[in-house]
Amino acid sequence: MGQAANDVVIVDNDPAAESARPAPPQAEDHPELEALENRIELLTSQLQGMSQQNEVSRGRTSRFQYLGLALCVALIGWLLLNNNRLTQEMAVLQADKRQLEETVNLQSQLNETMRSELSAQIDSQLEISDSHNRRFFESIEWALNEDGQFGWDEKPFNDQLATTLSQLSQNLHSVGFVGEISIRSHLGRFCLVTASNGESALPDSDATLSSCEIIQFTPSLAESMGTDQSPGFERFLAAFQSEYGEDIELSLSTAGDRRPLARYPAEDPDTNAERWNKAAARNQRIEISINPY
């Protein structure tokens, strides 16, 4: 056994023997497998490309998200800053508005106070002016009425009165007067006698009431005699209206014998007729009043 282990096996490298040994099997050609392998490699490369694109797309998306988030944060910050600025401006505007309202209210109060004071001053001046004007007109009225008697046989609205009213109107118009001149006649109850010619006349100075007849005025007779006009006065009225129009108006009326200025003596038969007629003469008068508008 031990000897057999030490035996040397001699291998014969005879070429003939080599050629006689059967050849190893050769790989067979399979084109379907090759096509499948190529397709698998193509799909693998496509998958790898898609994976890389997804990674790039995810990177871009992440960057866009970060960018959008940053823009949102910046926008919110800008809005907050702008809101704070607007709030401050609004507060300033409200303060200015309150101050302006206070100023306007104060100015309104001052204006109202000044208006009241000015109105009071104007009213006071008007009252003073009206008072002065009234006294001025009253003085004119007194002067005219003091000499306003007309004769027992004269018409109340006569030529002499027309002259007086013409001068009065010119003077009033020159100072800017606008208003009404009121002329009222008053009649005296004369005691008259009938003369030989049939006309009425005054009795003798020593006659008594028993020798004359006192005029008794009925309402219609008082109205007729109290508004009687002379032709010259009628012409004056026409010219007056065309000259002054509505600036100065004349108002004519009569009180008849209802408002005597002088007291008559006792109506006794023995009363002196001249004394009676003197009272009647004072009551036979024209009363003028000046009334500004």
| Residues across the chain | 293
Whether the CB-CB separation of 227 and 252 falls below 8 Å is answered with: yes
Nearest residue to 253 via CA among 222, 280, 274: 222
pLDDT 10s per residue in the chain (293 long)?
Answer: 444 444 444 445 554 444 445 555 554 566 777 777 787 888 778 777 776 776 666 666 777 777 777 787 788 888 888 888 888 888 998 898 998 899 898 898 888 898 888 888 888 887 887 888 889 999 999 999 999 999 999 999 999 999 999 999 999 999 999 999 999 999 999 999 999 899 999 999 999 999 999 999 999 999 999 999 999 999 999 999 999 999 999 999 999 999 999 999 999 999 999 999 999 999 999 999 999 99
How far are the Cα atoms of 186, 195, 198, 230, 268 from residue 215, in angstroms, in the given order? 14, 16, 16, 22, 15
CA terminus-to-terminus distance, the chain: 177
What is the rounded distance in angstroms from the CA atom of residue 259 to the CA atom of residue 215? 15
What is the rounded distance in angstroms from the CA atom of residue 219 to the CA atom of residue 206? 32
What is the rounded distance in angstroms from the CA atom of residue 144 to the CA atom of residue 289? 9
Tokens representing 136?
């001025």
Other Cβ atoms less than 10 A from the Cβ of 144: the count is 19
Whether the CB-CB separation of 291 and 196 falls below 8 Å is answered with: no
